[in-house]
Chain A
Amino acid sequence: MSDNSPISYSDKQYKVLGTRPVRHDGADKVTGRAIYGADVQMSGMAHGKILRSPHPHARIKAIDTSIAEKINGVYAIATGQDWPDLIDKVADLGEGAVNLHDLAQNCLAVDKVLYKGHAIAAVAARDVHVAEEAIAAIRVDYEILPAVTDIVEAMQADAPILHPGLKTETLEEPSDQPTNIDRHVHFETGDIDAGFAAADVIIEREYRTATVHQGYIEPQVSTALWNEDGHLKIWTSTQGSFTARHQTAELLQLPISKVTVTPCEIGGGFGGKIAVYFEPVAAMLSRKCGRPVKMTMQRDEVFEGTGPTPASNIKVKLGATRDGKLTAGQAYLAYEAGAFPGGVIGPGAMCIFSCVELPNAIVDGYDVCVNKPKTQAYRAPGATQAAFAFESTLNELASELKLDRIEIRRINGVKEGVKRVDGPVYPRIGYLECLDAVEKSAHWNTPLEGPNRGRGIGAGYWFNIGLKSSVSASVNPDGTVHLLEGSTDIGGTRTSIAMQLAETLGIAAHDVLPKVVDTDSVGYTDVTGGSRTTFATGMAAHKVGLDLLEQLTARAAMLWECDPIEVQVDGDLYRFGDQQITFKQLAAKLPETGDPVVGRASVSPEGSTNGFGVHIVDVEVDPDTAKVTILRYTAIQDAGKAIHPSYVEGQMQGGAVQGIGWALNEEYFYGDDHKMRNASLLDYRIPTCLDVPMIDAIIVEVPNPSHPFGVRGVGETPIVPPPAAIADAIYQATGVRMTQLPMSPPRLWKAMTQR
């Protein structure tokens, strides 16, 4: 929080937007009454558990379930042999496409396991303890294969190959050589050679980042009931009920109308709860035993059996003239896809130069299979790794040119009309305004004193996608409006969406009653992800508000026997001549004057909402242990329009702290046996509240031209700048430039002592 935030670049006045009402689902959550996936209880329910591979790479020769089947209380066992025949089909899931054959193999392996923790068989039993006993009694005969978990090694010609049939997707002729490289993306603009020739200074650096996990507190959990009528019902913790329905229906080859997904309250996701793991498996078990089956992961299963975000190897080369103007940039990015193709290299490659205007640039990105879990989205997927590499190189360039770090960003910073290296031209954006906010901030203007201390900055960008959203709404006679939506609420979006309908209707936020409903009860809605929910579902809420407004105006006109066009609406007041009626009074008259007033709206906004952020961080580095302490932190971000400033700040603060964890200590440790060594929340240390200070959040509001209220997505951008900003602060404190994440004490200590 900051006294002068939000900093607004709009003179539009709002009644509801920008206020901080208590969230609609708040009372349920502080009393323990909210129903999360694990809280679902059903009559006759069985509990499922998964047998997971102890090997990082092996062929499954045989699975013997005969002993497990005989255990008292075991109801059903499923293996990959139970999948229906799945052709090699790619399904569009909104935020990204997925190969169904791979998705099925990831939920239950068929002939090969590709990482330690890969699911092999599933058991449904009377309780979890019996299910665990049964799991232990399943015998699997493996042929162990050589494994590779390092991205650079996986790209070598002699690397163990995960998928013998894999060919690199590229513009060039496909090679017949076996490979782990799934995809090569390439962007090019201008003349790179001329650009570097025009540079006075060129800096080229190589970076590595580690595998990190979203670390949501609630593990994956799903309950499925394959009913006697052939209808499959699922209650699950998901970021997208419709994508869960789609994936499950496709994997089980069911018509989509035969599957109903009820999204429970979700205990965090950050991109990790878009792909299905349990939904189709619980469904198979339910069909076999005729009971509802609930499956819950243990924490080690979450780490080893779900999708973290990729480790990376990035090279950045930047050229600039002596006055700080960038002349050329070249980037090479290799990202882990994990066990199956389809990682986040695309957005990584698109984001790496997104904060600067580069006349001449080349970006090459490679998506690489390794014997680790299939990677998934994690908050601005692919952008944090890229920003760590680019922003670090830019900070080094600034110090080489003896230029202020803000100044070099201002000279090259993107604004309206600038074309990104990958093609799109920016509309009105707020990057330079964020830099202004840095320079005006109390943090930037307070000298940092003391030994071993440094102040760093870093910037970051995320697209913020649109996709599809639907809502419906009905006006109640007591003057409230029920709003049904398909967007699962993770960070308070019920409220930020309801507020946009309230603003449109001129009524109070709490007179809109939002409800997240199942897939049968609302139109198709894409995932809560991509920072799209407040933006796109909010647009749908605005649109349904306009529909209700039109109907209410017509109803008022009917009362006054005038033309609707003669009715003036001002906030919640409807006027004709000297007659007026409030929204509440009009709502009370609806039942007696005609049909119920209901509305529906769906939207599919194209393109990006373009979120930028700049973070400032002060650190102190212990010279003996190399432990980095965060002394002060300020996150600055363009939110377009902050609908509910507290929850915008919350996104900025939460994203910043996840970025701090990524920067300083989070990583998957692998042994020489390619097995994860720290699959617990004790050993995979996410920041605790003792590890971080208060996180100041300064909201900048440069209205987004493609949203009725100017909203930009805010959820993802804040995780992008922290590693680069902290690396910069560490350099300022120690003179050491770290090029590898996490910058944990052993790694930093080594760098400090070997210089």
Chain B
Amino acid sequence: MAKKQLITATINGEQREFACEPRQSLLEALRDGLQLTGAKEGCNNGNCGACTVLLDGEPVVSCLVLAVEAEGAEIETVEGIAAGGKLQPLQQCFLEGAALQCGVCTPGFLMTTKALLDRIPHPSEEEIRFQLAGNLCRCTGYDKIVRAVQAAAEGEQT
């Protein structure tokens, strides 16, 4: 076991330091080290998207990123979306559109969607489905998720 390293990163707008072993994933560091348990572990090998966070604005599956790679990076997790105790319209659209059932994939979907709408404010249904194809949901059949993303895009709000 190698010695822990000290990593400095901006997490949800706040500069944070955390110690991690070289073998630890960013997901592990976020959940166990930083107590940011919003990102979920579904498969731990990059297949399900439940642990998606934004790394310098790009959606990544945090189970496939080593925590040490986060040095100097800007990381955004689901905990960082709602500001000032108020839900973002994107979260509101998921809620009102019943776009979640068990809810465990929801944080990942929200992060991927946020990245999508940041880049393509008015995506087509095809674009939404293509961009969200890395996030698995087993409950909803995706219908209401896609509609929630469309509703968020129509409101031009993320």
Contacts and interface: CB of A to CB of B under 8 A. Distances in A.
A31 interface: yes
B78 A266 contact: no
A654 B21 CA distance: 39
- Interface pairs A-B: 7 shortest CB-CB: A32-B38, A267-B104, A653-B141, A29-B103, A657-B141, A646-B98, A681-B47
Nearest to B42: A217
Contacts of B94: 30
Contacts of B122: none
A121 interface: no
B120 interface: no
Interface in A626-666: 644, 646-647, 649-650, 652-658
A129 B102 contact: no
Contacts of B31: 38-39
B123 to A, nearest CB: 12
A270 B137 CA distance: 13
A680 B41 contact: no
A142 B86 CA distance: 58
B43 A299 contact: yes
Interface in A687-713: 687-692, 694-695, 697
B139 interface: yes
Contact of B48 (A30, A217, A649, A650): A217
A216 B102 contact: yes
A217 B102 contact: yes
B129 A654 contact: no
A218 interface: yes
Contacts of A39: 31, 37
Interface string B112-127: 0000000000000100
A218 B104 contact: yes
B50 A23 contact: no
B23 to A, nearest CB: 6
A529 interface: no
A23 B138 contact: no
A681 B140 contact: no
Nearest to B28: A128
A443 interface: no
Nearest to A681: B47
A697 B147 CA distance: 14
A299 B143 contact: no
Contact of B79 (A31, A219, A490): A31
A194 interface: no
A38 B81 CA distance: 22
A87 B139 CA distance: 39
Contacts of B100: 26, 29-30
A33 interface: yes
A646 B144 contact: yes
A217 B105 contact: yes
Interface residues of A, number: 62
Contacts of A688: 129, 132-136, 142
B139 A491 contact: yes
Nearest to B50: A217
26 contacts: A22-B96, A26-B95, A30-B106, A31-B87, A32-B79, A38-B31, A129-B21, A214-B138, A217-B40, A217-B42, A217-B138, A218-B104, A267-B42, A267-B105, A268-B104, A270-B138, A646-B97, A649-B143, A652-B141, A653-B140, A654-B141, A657-B142, A681-B47, A682-B47, A689-B142, A690-B130
A514 B132 CA distance: 32
Given A653-B144, A654-B141, A30 B129 contact: no
Contact of A686 (B78, B81, B103, B136): B136
A296 B42 CA distance: 10
Contacts of B96: 22
A689 to B, nearest CB: 4
Interface string B18-41: 000101000000010001111111
Contacts of B135: 688-689
Most buried by A among B37, B102, B135: B102
B110 interface: yes
Contacts of A27: 87, 95
Interface residues of B, number: 60
B82 interface: yes
A409 to B, nearest CB: 24
Nearest to A691: B133
A492 interface: yes
A6 to B, nearest CB: 15
A270 B144 CA distance: 19
A36 interface: yes
Most buried by B among A32, A691, A695: A32
Contacts of A692: 141-142
Contacts of B143: 1, 649, 653, 694-695, 697
B41 A219 contact: yes
A32 B107 contact: yes
Interface string B33-71: 001111111111111101000000000000000000000
A525 to B, nearest CB: 19
Contacts of A129: 1, 21, 23
B40 A654 contact: no
B101 interface: yes
A415 interface: no
Nearest to A32: B38
Nearest to A133: B1
A323 to B, nearest CB: 38
B42 A219 contact: yes
A39 B104 CA distance: 11
Contacts of B50: 217-218
B145 A689 contact: yes
B158 interface: no
A680 B102 contact: no
Interface in A13-34: 20, 22-23, 25-27, 29-34
B11 to A, nearest CB: 13
Contacts of B38: 31-33
Contacts of A690: 129-130, 132-133
Nearest to B108: A217
Contact of B45 (A20, A38, A682): A682
A94 B104 CA distance: 26
B36 to A, nearest CB: 8
Interface string A21-63: 0110111011111111011010000000000000000000000
B40 A36 contact: yes
Nearest to B38: A32
A492 B42 contact: no
A265 interface: yes
B78 A215 contact: no
Contacts of A491: 101-102, 139
A217 B104 contact: yes
Contacts of A655: 141
A216 B138 contact: yes
Most buried by A among B82, B103, B145: B103
Most buried by A among B1, B50, B147: B1
Nearest to B35: A41
Contacts of A492: 98, 101
Contacts of A22: 95-96
A200 B58 CA distance: 65
A691 B137 CA distance: 12
Contacts of B98: 20, 23, 492, 644, 646-647, 649-650
Contacts of B129: 688-690
A298 interface: yes
